């Protein structure tokens, strides 16, 4: 077995990890290779020394010379051909479980065309931070581990491969502004892709989410009605007042089945 510095790509970015390469015999007698990740080092660009091309070779040379900062004592690594057994056990015991279920979510985002729009937004706005990766991180986090944006960002290393190369929390909040501007386009693209897919969509029946906000008040807000030149309320063909402006708080159905007289309820679509 041998320990070496492996470089792999994810979302177009180069990442580094310390790997223990082993050979073992399978049940059928064939020899197979197995790699055990000892430690993920993050983005290759973090080790940029400003000397231009050949960065990976220089980083690997520093690793061989044990001058590369790897976050663990080099004494635990016998760099010749093997690693001290206790050190292996210690490293494996401290490894965190990595989530691989996000591969399904990534495939869905790609198939719905969301990733395309995010890349277009990044190019159009000349955005320097990882707009695509941060957006994916927020989606994965919301589905797999719903938390605040801050906690979601801090848990970006929970995934098998790096989802985003961003390392500053402020960038995830910047991404939210872009997503707000592109929300209509994203929904339209998703709708088109679903309609064209084998799943299809029946547009004559539409389901939507409604969340209720309630206000503890004795009276609801009165609507503003249309009036004529004499100040009289204008009525329609059925004799009902014509509403010019509908106010928010209205007496309505309570999801909590509260029937108190002081409960006014307003349902806000899609919030």
One domain for residues 58 and 111: no
For the chain, the average pLDDT equals: 80
One domain for residues 57 and 6: yes
In this prediction, residue 95 carries a pLDDT of: 53
For residue 255, what are the domain limits? 208-271
Residue 108 lies in a domain: yes
For the chain, what is the domain count? 3
Q: 236 — phi, psi (to 5°)?
A: -85, -170
pLDDT band at 116 (very low <50, low <70, confident <90, very high): very high
Per-residue pLDDT averaged across 112-122, rounded? 92
181 versus 200: which is more confidently predicted?
181
* Cβ pair 125, 132 in contact under 8 A: no
One domain for residues 87 and 107: no
Q: What is the dihedral of CA 261, 264, 270, 271, to 10 degrees?
A: -110
Residue 114: is it exposed, middle or buried by C-beta count within 10 angstroms (0-12/13-18/19+)? buried
| Cα Dmax for the chain | 98
Q: Is the pLDDT of residue 100 over 80?
A: yes
Q: Is the pLDDT of residue 84 over 50?
A: no
Q: What percent of the chain lies above the pLDDT cut of 90?
A: 31
Final residue in a domain of this structure, among 46, 70, 94: 94
- Say how many C-beta atoms besides its own lie within 10 A of residue 18's C-beta: 22
pTM for the whole structure? 0.48
One domain for residues 86 and 111: no
One domain for residues 21 and 81: yes
Final residue in a domain of this structure, among 39, 71, 94: 94
Helix or strand or coil: residue 215? strand
């Amino acid at each position: 077995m041998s320990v070496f510095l492996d470089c792999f790509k994810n979302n177009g970015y180069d990442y580094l990890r310390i790997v223990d390469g082993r050979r073992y015999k399978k049940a059928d007698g064939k020899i197979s290779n197995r790699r055990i990740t000892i430690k993920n080092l993050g983005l290759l660009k973090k080790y940029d020394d400003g000397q231009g091309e050949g960065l990976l070779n220089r980083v690997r040379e520093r690793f061989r010379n044990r001058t590369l900062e790897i976050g663990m004592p080099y004494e635990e690594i016998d760099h010749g051909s093997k690693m001290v057994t206790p050190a292996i056990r210690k490293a494996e015991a401290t490894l965190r479980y990595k989530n691989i279920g996000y591969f399904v979510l990534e495939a869905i985002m790609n198939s719905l065309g969301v990733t395309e729009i995010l890349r277009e937004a990044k190019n159009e706005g000349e955005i320097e931070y990882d707009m695509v990766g941060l957006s994916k991180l927020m989606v994965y986090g919301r589905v797999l581990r719903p938390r605040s944006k801050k906690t979601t960002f801090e848990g970006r290393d929970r995934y098998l491969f790096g989802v985003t190369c961003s390392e500053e929390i402020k960038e995830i909040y910047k991404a939210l502004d872009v997503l707000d501007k592109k929300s209509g386009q994203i929904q339209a693209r998703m709708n088109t892709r679903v309609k064209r897919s084998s799943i299809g969509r029946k547009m004559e029946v539409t389901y939507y989410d409604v969340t209720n906000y309630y206000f503890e008040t004795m009276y609801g807000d009165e609507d503003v009605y249309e009036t004529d030149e004499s100040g009289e309320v204008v009525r329609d063909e059925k004799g009902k007042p014509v509403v010019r402006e509908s106010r928010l708080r209205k007496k309505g159905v309570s999801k909590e089945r509260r029937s108190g007289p002081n409960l006014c309820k307003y349902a806000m679509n899609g919030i």
